[in-house]
């Protein structure tokens, strides 16, 4: 099948390489010449494990272009995967989507199915179809299908090829069957991905409902973790006792310093705003947002509670991206904690395996600071530091030798936002340790 993917960002590129991997010819269109130039050399513009291997493997079925005329030529399916960022009020910004629809309507030259993979408010697919039907310049039959994505950064290839489900929302049988046929290889061995079909509005709401539910689980277990610290319970044991209930499970029950990235923060705010605008306020979603906002600065709150004055202290920040295995710093706790430390006249050393450049740009674009240093290894970042704050769960941080905190820091004091270290192991060293959801008393650690 000839397929065009418009918007070769995170979702668009992963979708393109995976569709090519199951046998389709895919034209990848983007307005960024720099991005397309990289891709023509089989270099990925994003960090995602496994993506460059698939680029190389499927190079004969992938075509990259900034030429809009070539992009839509003879494609049976056009997939739109452009960004839908949030407005200041939390609503969804459809600027890029609207611009893309205009480009599509001016250049399509055959009957096709237009697939909206971008996350959009409920009813957007209906509006797009109405706009296209009323466009007198379009002489072809265009049907619109909702096909939300459920990718997690760091595991996006697996999440596509071995997806939990593929959701297709269509209001006519013909376009539904075309998209089912497009995904047919994934429904068979060795993938066996379930294909779930429904009407468009329900498909649009599935994406928001799923992400908000997962975000709610994260905020809930973080609330329980905070209570654990107050009553001398252990969050690890609480979760251990919860997860055996199959109705609860063990996913998204790891206590920490909140969710981030490009999806959960945006989607929770968008669904809440949409619910208010439709006179059906989702109060649980609002609470999820509020809890997460406070959780992101929890390490800073703990640090300030234990230290009278932070001025001139050297603080090492380990991990800058919102989670491991991505270079995405959007809504990372580091974005909130580091600027506050700089305001307090601290000296801040930051480390991340792949996120340094993105974080440096974020700081340079938003803050005028000289008290921050960037390091490519943990040893240098914590050397002679007063405190170490762990922001995400990269394996390199998780497997870092505890003895090095003792030998390199002024005095080993760790605030662990991801509970990476075993308490019994910590007890073997002269380390002051503050995890999430465990009230580790200093005398318990022989400090």
Q: Do 171 and 242 fall within a single domain?
A: no
Each residue's pLDDT, cut to its tens digit, for the chain (447 residues) gives 999 999 999 999 999 999 999 999 999 999 999 999 999 999 999 999 999 999 999 999 999 999 999 999 889 999 999 999 999 999 999 999 999 999 999 999 999 999 999 999 999 999 999 999 999 888 899 999 999 999 999 999 999 999 999 999 999 999 999 999 999 999 999 999 999 999 999 999 999 999 999 999 999 999 999 999 999 999 999 999 999 999 999 999 999 999 999 899 999 999 999 999 999 999 999 999 999 999 999 999 999 999 878 999 999 999 999 999 999 999 999 999 999 999 999 999 999 999 999 999 999 998 877 899 999 999 999 999 999 999 999 999 999 999 999 999 999 999 999 999 999 999 999 899 999 999 886 434 433
Q: Do 340 and 435 fall within a single domain?
A: yes
Q: Do 255 and 308 fall within a single domain?
A: no
CA dihedral 436→439→442→443, nearest 10 degrees, is -150
Q: Three-state SS for 89? A: coil
Q: Is 149 left (phi over 0), alpha (psi -120 to 50) or beta?
A: beta
d(CA 3, CA 25): 6
Q: Do 181 and 269 fall within a single domain?
A: no
Q: Three-state SS for 384? A: coil
Q: Which residue has the tokens 């992938």?
A: 62
| pTM (predicted TM-score) | 0.93
**Options 18, 28, 212, 263, the catalytic residue:** 263
Q: Do 385 and 420 fall within a single domain?
A: yes
Please confirm, yes or no, whether 228 is among the known catalytic residues: no
Distance in Å from the first CA to the final CA of the chain: 65
Q: Do 248 and 374 fall within a single domain?
A: no
d(CA 363, CA 333): 14
Q: Do 64 and 190 fall within a single domain?
A: yes
Residue that terminates a domain, selected from 144, 169, 198:
198
d(CA 66, CA 315): 45
Q: What strands lie across the sheet with 112-116, from one edge to the other?
A: 62-65, 25-29, 2-6, 77-80, 112-116, 142-146, 166-169, 195-198
Give the range of the structural domain holding residue 327, as residue numbers without chain letter. Answer: 296-445
Q: What is the domain-level CATH number for residue 222?
A: 1.10.1040.10
Residue that terminates a domain, selected from 223, 252, 287:
287
Q: Do 140 and 212 fall within a single domain?
A: no
Q: How many CB atoms lie within 10 A of CB 2?
A: 15
Q: What is the enclosing helix (H) or strand (E) of 316?
A: strand 314-318
Contact assessment for residue 261 and residue 327, using Cβ atoms and an 8 Å cutoff: no
Q: Do 305 and 419 fall within a single domain?
A: yes
And the tokens for 117?
Answer: 């993979």
And the tokens for 26?
Answer: 């895919």
């Amino acid at each position: 099948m000839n397929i065009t993917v418009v918007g070769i960002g995170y979702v668009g590129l992963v979708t393109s390489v995976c569709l090519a991997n199951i046998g389709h010819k895919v034209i990848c269109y983007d307005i960024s010449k720099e991005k397309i130039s990289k891709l023509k050399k089989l270099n990925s513009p994003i960090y995602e494990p496994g993506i460059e291997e698939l680029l190389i493997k499927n190079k004969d079925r992938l075509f990259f272009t900034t030429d809009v005329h070539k992009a839509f030529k003879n494609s049976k399916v056009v997939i739109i995967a452009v960004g839908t960022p949030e407005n200041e009020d939390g609503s969804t910004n459809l600027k890029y989507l609207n611009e893309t629809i205009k480009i599509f309507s001016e250049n399509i030259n055959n009957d096709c199915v237009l697939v909206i993979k971008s996350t959009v408010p409920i009813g957007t697919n209906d509006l797009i179809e109405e706009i296209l039907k009323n466009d007198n310049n379009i002489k072809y039959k265009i049907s619109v299908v909702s096909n939300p994505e459920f990718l997690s950064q760091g595991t996006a290839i697996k999440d596509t090829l071995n997806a939990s489900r593929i959701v297709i929302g269509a209001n006519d049988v013909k376009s539904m069957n075309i998209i089912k046929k497009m995904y047919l290889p994934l429904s068979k061995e060795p993938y066996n991905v379930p294909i779930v079909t429904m009407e468009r509005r329900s498909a649009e709401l599935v994406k928001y409902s799923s992400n908000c539910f997962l975000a709610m689980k994260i905020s809930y277990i973080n609330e329980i973790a905070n209570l654990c610290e107050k009553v001398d319970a252990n969050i690890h044991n609480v979760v251990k006792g919860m997860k055996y209930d199959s109705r609860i499970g063990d996913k998204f029950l790891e206590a920490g310093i909140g969710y981030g990235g490009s999806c959960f923060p945006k989607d929770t705010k968008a669904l809440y705003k949409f619910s208010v605008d439709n006179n059906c306020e989702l109060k649980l979603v609002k609470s999820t947002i509020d809890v997460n906002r406070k959780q992101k600065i929890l390490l800073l709150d703990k640090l300030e509670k234990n230290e009278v004055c932070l001025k001139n202290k050297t603080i090492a920040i380990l991990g800058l991206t919102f989670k491991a295995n991505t270079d995405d710093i959007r809504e990372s706790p580091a974005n909130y904690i580091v600027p506050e430390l700089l305001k307090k006249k601290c000296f801040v050393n930051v480390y991340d395996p792949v996120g340094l450049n993105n974080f440096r740009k974020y700081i340079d674009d938003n803050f005028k600071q000289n008290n921050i240093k960037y390091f490519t290894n943990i040893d240098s970042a914590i050397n002679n530091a007063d405190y170490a704050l762990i922001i995400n769960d990269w394996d390199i941080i998780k497997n870092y030798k505890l003895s090095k905190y003792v030998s390199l820091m002024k005095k080993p004091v760790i605030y662990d936002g991801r509970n990476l270290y075993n308490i019994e192991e910590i007890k073997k060293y002269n380390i002051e340790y503050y995890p999430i959801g465990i009230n580790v008393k200093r005398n318990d650690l022989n400090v």
